[in-house]
Amino acid sequence: MTVRQIACFFMILGFCSSTTLAQISARPGPPDRYVSREILVFPRQPGQSPALVRKLRQQGFQVLAQAPLSGMIIAAVPAAGLELTMCQYLELWPEVLVAECNAIGESNQPVCPLGGTPTPTPCNTGSTGTPFPPIGASPCLPVAGLPNDPYFCYQWGVHNTGQTVRDRACSISGGAPGCWEQTGHAGIDIGVVEAWQRSTGSSAVTVAVFDSGIEYCNPDVDPARFFFPDIALTCVGDDGSSYPCCPPSSASEESACNYGPATDNVGHGTMVASVLAATPNNQLGLAGVDHECRVLSARVVSQSESGPFGSVVAANIGRVIVALETIRYYPIYQSVRVINMSFRFPEAFAPPASVTNLEAACILLQADDRFIVTTSTNDGVGTADTSVPNRFSSVITVGGIDSRGWRFASPCGFSSGTGSAVDFVAPGMAMPMLICQTNPCQTPPGVPSPCSYGGTTWQGYPCLEYYGYNFLNGTSFAAPMVCGAISLILSHAIDLGIVDSSSWEGLTWEQMYDLLQRGARDQVSHVPGHQGDPNDIPNLVGPVSGDTYYGWGLIDINASLNWLEALYCPNCD
């Protein structure tokens, strides 16, 4: 009996005629919160997964991906609307523990509505169709000792001189909703310019960006820094025809092409990666926090323009689990020490087995002294504690501040999330970053990808229009700053002989967290001569900060490097 016949049989029996507890567990939210046609199948024992894959294929399911540790399987059902029916059917199989719908998450960079037509200015010249907005009229001039990148003077989060930064929509004639500009307070930054005197990074350290992919041919990202094999997870249940890496139904589970090229199909991942790793001193674009780390692109979105969030990139929990387990399981990813996840899954809509397995993967990586950094969300008070992985103690959760040191609150109505889960804050408003291109990249020569297209043009995903605006807000862009802080601390620890980059012994997860905590600036909004945020309270003495708005405070990379030397290298000059 085929899977279509099974679905018809169940419908005739009225199997789904009423809402059951099993249905609520498999899909606790409305249908548009889940990937169409996809389900997650959890075996009772991980070792049962290969046989379960074969059985699923024999019955007509398309197997899209398999997690190497838990054995979880992402499978496609034949038509939209059959997800719950198939979950209930599969739970009758003795080897299946539970089957659930694949929850869609939310990126932490929401859309700010724009109106009118922007007038060309040094801040908004160019378009999404060009490699990078030309900024010949930019007032940025090279300063001795600082990167010569033409947008560097706008990077207040890296070097805050009290400059005025404006949203690119601010030149709209007559103003528009969300139009704003802000003059910062000098010194409210992450202390990285001073840190660069000691470390600019190390190619021994790889940072993974879990997102919409990264544009490999962006001119301000050095292609030599990309780590391969990347993790694309290209197959999706509702659009297999347009994803050429999907395996045929007759293929074995080992041949499922989950790897590369993990290019950007939205634009969000390229922007996140640019905050971390844009090439400095090339007279183009920006300067990233870490100048030398390798970058692994892990595309964990099923498609763009998915779910109830319109054009906001939507990760899904199944692909995140597969990517996390892949990094933990395969030795080739041993250098991946930091993972950026700029998204959230509202726990109210995340099925329980998915949440359990997501947390289990995070705990495994924490135990291996690897650092997952996520955001406090952009949804305001209390939301950091109601989202996963954001509330997990095994991840580092980052809120966003503006250039005055205040928790950011956008004119569009969203603001940095709060809660006991917040560990630190970092710059997250009026952030300059790279845009993705609308023209498809050509395959770079020698890219070692198992799914290489043989020198042909990669699948061309159009970049969403609003991602052409470089100055954007969101905790999505605060998280990669903390990733850069961790990678720079690791790099300096390698240089000092504190960390062995072959075994990665020398600094535990707890010790790294302690270095970030010791270096963080408490009550950062309370700048002398200016009113501070009344919610920015002093930290408590003990293991918990007590500040649910700012956590332990603004990260300061240079201060954390000072503590690294003081605690672990007493003979350092």
pLDDT band at 32 (very low <50, low <70, confident <90, very high): confident
Measured distance CA(303)–CA(172) in Å, rounded: 31
**Alpha-carbon distance values, 89 to 15, 45, 232, 412 (Å):** 9, 19, 30, 44
> What pLDDT, on a 0 to 100 scale, did the predictor assign at position 120?
35
Four-residue CA torsion sign, 181, 187, 192, 197: positive
Q: Please give the DSSP secondary-structure letter assigned to residue 254.
A: G
| Encoded amino acid at 320, one letter | V
> What pLDDT, on a 0 to 100 scale, did the predictor assign at position 464?
54
CATH 3.30.70.80 residue ranges for the chain: 3-103
3-state secondary structure of 540: coil
Measured distance CA(29)–CA(41) in Å, rounded: 18
3-103 fold: Alpha-Beta Plaits (3.30.70)
> What pLDDT, on a 0 to 100 scale, did the predictor assign at position 94?
97
Question: Is residue 454 classed exposed, middle or buried when 0-12, 13-18 and 19+ CB atoms within 10 A define those classes?
Answer: exposed
Packing angle, helices 3-12 and 83-90, rounded to 10: 100
Q: Which residue has the higher pLDDT, 308 or 201?
A: 201
> What pLDDT, on a 0 to 100 scale, did the predictor assign at position 247?
45
Which of 169, 167, 168, 172 minimizes the C-alpha distance to 182? Answer: 167
**Alpha-carbon distance values, 353 to 28, 37, 333 (Å):** 12, 18, 26
Detail the DSSP E strand segments found in 229-360: 294-299, 336-341, 343-346
Is the pLDDT confidence value at 297 over 90? yes
Is the pLDDT confidence value at 118 over 50? no
Q: Which residue has the higher pLDDT, 21 or 269?
A: 269
Is the pLDDT confidence value at 152 over 80? yes
Q: Which residue has the higher pLDDT, 22 or 449?
A: 22
**Alpha-carbon distance values, 230 to 63, 259, 292, 365, 454 (Å):** 20, 6, 18, 18, 16
Neighbouring CB atoms inside 10 A of 6's CB total 18
pLDDT band at 3 (very low <50, low <70, confident <90, very high): low
3-state secondary structure of 469: coil
Domain 192-567 has CATH 3.40.50.720: no
pLDDT by residue (tens digit) across 347-373? Answer: 999 999 999 999 999 999 999 999 999
Query: 482-497 burial string, b = 16+ CB within 10 Å, else e?
Result: bbbbbbbbbbbbbebe
pLDDT by residue (tens digit) across 543-566? Answer: 888 899 999 999 999 999 999 999
pLDDT band at 168 (very low <50, low <70, confident <90, very high): low
**Structure tokens given for 562:** 């000072």
Least confident of 89-103, 271-285, 303-317: 303-317
Quote the longest CA-to-CA distance of the chain.
78
3-state secondary structure of 116: coil
CATH 3.40.50.200 residue ranges for the chain: 192-567
**Structure tokens given for 77:** 């059902």
Is the pLDDT confidence value at 239 over 90? no
117-119-120 Cα angle (round to 5): 130
Is the pLDDT confidence value at 104 over 60? yes
What is the share, in percent, of the chain residues with pLDDT greater than 70?
Answer: 74
Q: How far apart are the first and last CA of the chain?
A: 73
**pLDDT (mean) for 142-146:** 87
Measured distance CA(327)–CA(337) in Å, rounded: 10
Q: What is the DSSP string of 405-423?
A: SSBPB-TTS-B---STT--
Is the pLDDT confidence value at 452 over 60? no
**pLDDT (mean) for 38-61:** 94
What is the share, in percent, of the chain residues with pLDDT greater than 90?
Answer: 54
**Alpha-carbon distance values, 154 to 1, 163, 183, 296, 404 (Å):** 62, 7, 11, 27, 14
Contact 365, 324 (CB under 8 A): yes
Q: What is the DSSP string of 195-219?
A: HTTT----TT-EEEEEES---TT-T
Is the pLDDT confidence value at 231 over 50? yes
Contact 377, 108 (CB under 8 A): yes
* Cα 520 from chain centre: 22
Which of 140, 195, 186, 123 minimizes the C-alpha distance to 159? Answer: 186
pLDDT band at 114 (very low <50, low <70, confident <90, very high): very low
Measured distance CA(360)–CA(515) in Å, rounded: 25
Which residues, 6+ apart, have CB-to-CB distance to 348 below 8 Å? 28, 29, 386
* Average pLDDT across the chain, whole number: 81
Least confident of 30-44, 224-238, 277-291, 476-490: 224-238
pLDDT by residue (tens digit) across 420-433? Answer: 999 999 999 888 88
Measured distance CA(309)–CA(500) in Å, rounded: 44
Helices of type H across 157-198: 192-195
Least confident of 129-133, 386-390, 546-550: 129-133
Q: Which residues pair with 183 in a beta bridge?
A: 164
